[in-house]
């Protein structure tokens, strides 16, 4: 009975991973290869997965829950690089290049992670060309998005950065961004601290910018719930000519 139960768990995991963008290009054999070398770890809300400057020893895939990748800026300020959801991976950078983590990772809600050791991760890269190509494509996409974020921080004012952050976080939360003519406003739970950390600033200027967007009729914000009322105007303020729903997080992660 125990072996039957384990077999059912593996089958269910295989079905789940096949629905995730990163794994769609892999064959069932390659996914089974990943499952064979991965270990499941559970993290409670607020638990640290690893800290910046830790020695990198594992690669992580989010099975369920939500993980925040961030770094501290001084004593009071944080910069959030991404919120990771089911199917996203992280921890690759210190295994591929650097030896220490470039950022910290923390469970924002109860989460389960598939964990692969550094040795097995490198073996997987050598043995599975499809996995390696998908990894490279995703890293290139993250680098491109990171470049755009740097450009935004250099050339956009706080209002433009806030508009861009709202759009990016909406995508990371799997909200369906719609083009002009949308009938249902986009809603998401989002507190001001999350926005401030994502933008690498403090809560006060974010609060002021939110009030400006509210007065302009672009968004509504009440008790931690943000509603986008005018997507076209939000897009224009952010400086984006088109809405992009991020398939993977900004920044190559730790």
What burial letters (b/e) apply to 90-114, b meaning 16+ CB within 10 Å?
bbbbbbbeeeebbbbbbbbeebebb
- Count Cα atoms within 13 angstroms, Cβ side, for 77: 12
Please tell me whether residues 6 and 130 are part of one structural domain. Answer: yes
Please tell me whether residues 134 and 96 are part of one structural domain. Answer: yes
Residue range 195-210, pLDDT digits in tens: 888 888 888 999 999 9
pLDDT reading at 153 higher than 90: no
The rounded mean pLDDT for the chain is 81
Cα torsion 203, 201, 228, 164 to 10°: value is: 180
Residue range 165-205, pLDDT digits in tens: 888 887 654 344 444 444 567 888 888 888 888 888 888 99
Please tell me whether residues 132 and 190 are part of one structural domain. Answer: no
Q: Give CA–CA dist 236/152, Å, rounded.
A: 13
Predicted pLDDT of residue 107: 97
Indicate which CATH number applies to the domain containing 165. Answer: 1.10.10.10
Number of domains in the chain: 2
Q: Which residues contact 35 (CB under 8 A, 6 or more apart)?
A: 10, 13, 14, 17, 114
Please tell me whether residues 131 and 161 are part of one structural domain. Answer: no
Residue pair 101/31 in contact by the 8 Å Cβ criterion: no
* 51 in any annotated domain: yes
Across residues 224-235, what is the average pLDDT? 89
Please tell me whether residues 57 and 176 are part of one structural domain. Answer: no
Predicted pLDDT of residue 93: 87
Bridge-based pairing state of the strands 77-84 and 39-43: unpaired
Q: How far is CA 26 from CA 14, 32, 87, in A?
A: 11, 10, 13
pLDDT reading at 11 higher than 60: yes
The fraction of the chain above a pLDDT of 90, given in percent, is 33
* 48 in any annotated domain: yes
Q: How far is CA 110 from CA 12, 43, 113, in A?
A: 20, 6, 10
> Which structural domain, as residue segments, surrounds residue 212?
157-238
Please tell me whether residues 122 and 178 are part of one structural domain. Answer: no
pTM of the predicted protein model: 0.67
pLDDT reading at 249 higher than 50: no
CB neighbours (10 Å) of residue 203? 14
Selected residue with higher pLDDT from 135 and 150? 135
Please tell me whether residues 137 and 163 are part of one structural domain. Answer: no
Residue pair 97/147 in contact by the 8 Å Cβ criterion: no
Q: How would residue 25 be classed by pLDDT, with cut points 50, 70 and 90?
A: confident
* 58 in any annotated domain: yes
- Max avg pLDDT among 100-104, 126-130, 231-235: 100-104
Residue pair 194/241 in contact by the 8 Å Cβ criterion: no
Please tell me whether residues 161 and 36 are part of one structural domain. Answer: no
Please tell me whether residues 130 and 161 are part of one structural domain. Answer: no
Q: Which is it for the CA torsion 116, 149, 109, 78, positive or negative?
A: positive
Indicate which CATH number applies to the domain containing 136. Answer: 2.60.120.10
* 98 in any annotated domain: yes
Cα torsion 53, 66, 142, 162 to 10°: value is: -100
Residue pair 200/193 in contact by the 8 Å Cβ criterion: no
Please tell me whether residues 113 and 203 are part of one structural domain. Answer: no
Q: Give CA–CA dist 227/221, Å, rounded.
A: 6
For Cα atoms 149, 168, 20, give the angle at the middle one, nearest 5 degrees: 115
Selected residue with higher pLDDT from 91 and 6? 91
């Amino acid at each position: 009975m125990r072996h039957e139960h384990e077999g059912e768990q593996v089958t269910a995991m295989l079905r789940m991973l096949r629905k995730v963008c990163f794994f769609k290009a892999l064959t069932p054999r390659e996914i089974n290869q990943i499952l064979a070398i991965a270990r499941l770890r559970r993290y409670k809300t607020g638990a640290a997965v690893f800290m910046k400057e830790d020695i990198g020893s594992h690669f992580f895939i989010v099975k369920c829950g939500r993980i925040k990748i961030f770094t501290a800026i001084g004593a009071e300020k944080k910069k959030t690089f991404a919120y990771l959801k089911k199917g996203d991976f992280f921890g690759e950078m210190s295994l591929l290049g650097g030896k220490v983590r470039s950022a910290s990772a923390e469970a924002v809600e109860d989460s389960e992670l598939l964990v692969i050791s550094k040795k097995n991760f490198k073996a997987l890269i050598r043995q599975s060309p499809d996995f390696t190509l998908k990894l490279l494509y995703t890293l290139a996409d993250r680098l491109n998005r990171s470049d755009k974020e740097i450009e935004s921080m250099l050339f956009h004012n706080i209002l433009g950065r806030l508009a861009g952050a709202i759009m990016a976080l909406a995508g990371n939360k799997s909200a369906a961004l719609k083009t002009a003519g949308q009938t249902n406003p986009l809603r998401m739970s989002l507190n001001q601290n999350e926005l401030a950390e994502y933008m690498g600033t403090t809560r006060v200027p974010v609060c002021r910018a939110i009030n400006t967007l509210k007065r302009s009729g672009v968004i509504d914000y009440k008790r931690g719930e943000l509603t986008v009322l005018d997507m076209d105007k939000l897009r224009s303020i952010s400086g984006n000519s088109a809405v992009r729903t991020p398939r993977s997080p900004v920044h190559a992660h730790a």
